Amino acid sequence: MPKIGDIQLPDFPLLLAPMEDVSDPPFRALCKENGADVVYTEFISSEGLIRDAAKSVMKLDIYEKERPVGIQIFGAEMDSMLQAIDIVERTKPDIIDINFGCPVKKVVCKNAGAGILRDIPLMVKLTEAMVKRTQLPVTVKTRLGWDHNSIKIVEVAERLQDVGIQAIAIHGRTRVQMYKGEADWNPIAAVKNNPRMHIPVFGNGDVDTPEAAMRMRDAYGLDGAMIGRASIGNPWFFNHVKHYFETGEHLPSPTMEQRVNIARRHLQMAIDWKGEKLGVFETRRHYTNYFKGIPHFKEYRMKMVTSDAAEDVFAAFDEVLEKFGDYQFAS
């Protein structure tokens, strides 16, 4: 069974991917309750941390019930990243993760995230310095390469392992692809099959069904799956994958009552954590998935995603349960 440092994980663990404005404490708590083995924070700017920017500092909030939890940071300036390590350590996470995979332009243009894939020596140098700075296990999340012509992920992963990272998660697309096309897991399997690799290799990208997770495990031989977009508005996904692994059968899709209840809890936890205004705003992206597939639902979805007052959103949940309570979701 895989380990990250001294953290023992189950056979083929399921990890919640770090996602900006998604994997905050309320959502991480819901995913943890529903089978996620390791959760990661939203990615946090090293520059924001050392400037004490409120939004960056708030992302450091972690809770005991989340463990093991990783805090993910990004940046490309050595001094800033090392100072950020010191700040992150004080919040006592279980893992520090470095983001070398974010494809968003505002991150990449600073040579951070996937931008550093154009400068592998800097990527390795930065990682080595960060590993030396902390006693916590350091992991990396990255992509296959900058573009199709520069995929050197087998070599890159080995070099990162050699400077001390404890696990690597690889998204099966290049930066140029962004989130388009299909993820290619073959280069990730090549990393895993490199006889010099001994740290866990986790796959990421298009793990959107239990069958996909099983293929990643059985056909590609990876050590675990990092799950991102498939979990948005669907924290049950982790348990559904585990049930499928154990039985070969699909769990029934959550009922309307279960969906309304978790949407309510999600909103309330978000409000408790960051206040009504932000709590209401930042849970909106989940509602489309919580209630996906219901016919003639637009009116209710619009209420959920345009209302600024929590009481109006809670009232919309009540209306949905009353009107669509008997709706049967496809498994």
Specify whether the CB–CB gap between 248 and 272 falls below 8 A: no
What the block records as the tokens of 197 is: 């690799």
Q: Which of 204, 212, 199, 175 is nearest to 188 (CA)?
A: 204
Helices 310-324 and 256-274 pack at an angle, to 10 degrees, of: 170
Q: Distance between CA 187 and CA 85 in Å, rounded?
A: 30
**254 prior amide bond cis, ω within 30:** no
| Nearby residues of 94 by Cβ (< 8 Å), 6 or more positions away | 4, 7, 67, 68, 69, 70, 136, 137
Q: Distance between CA 267 and CA 226 in Å, rounded?
A: 24
Q: Distance between CA 210 and CA 181 in Å, rounded?
A: 20
Q: Which of 282, 228, 224 is nearest to 18 (CA)?
A: 228
31 is catalytic: no
**Which residue among the candidates 102, 112, 140, 313 is catalytic per the annotation?**
102
Could you give the residue numbers annotated as active site? 102
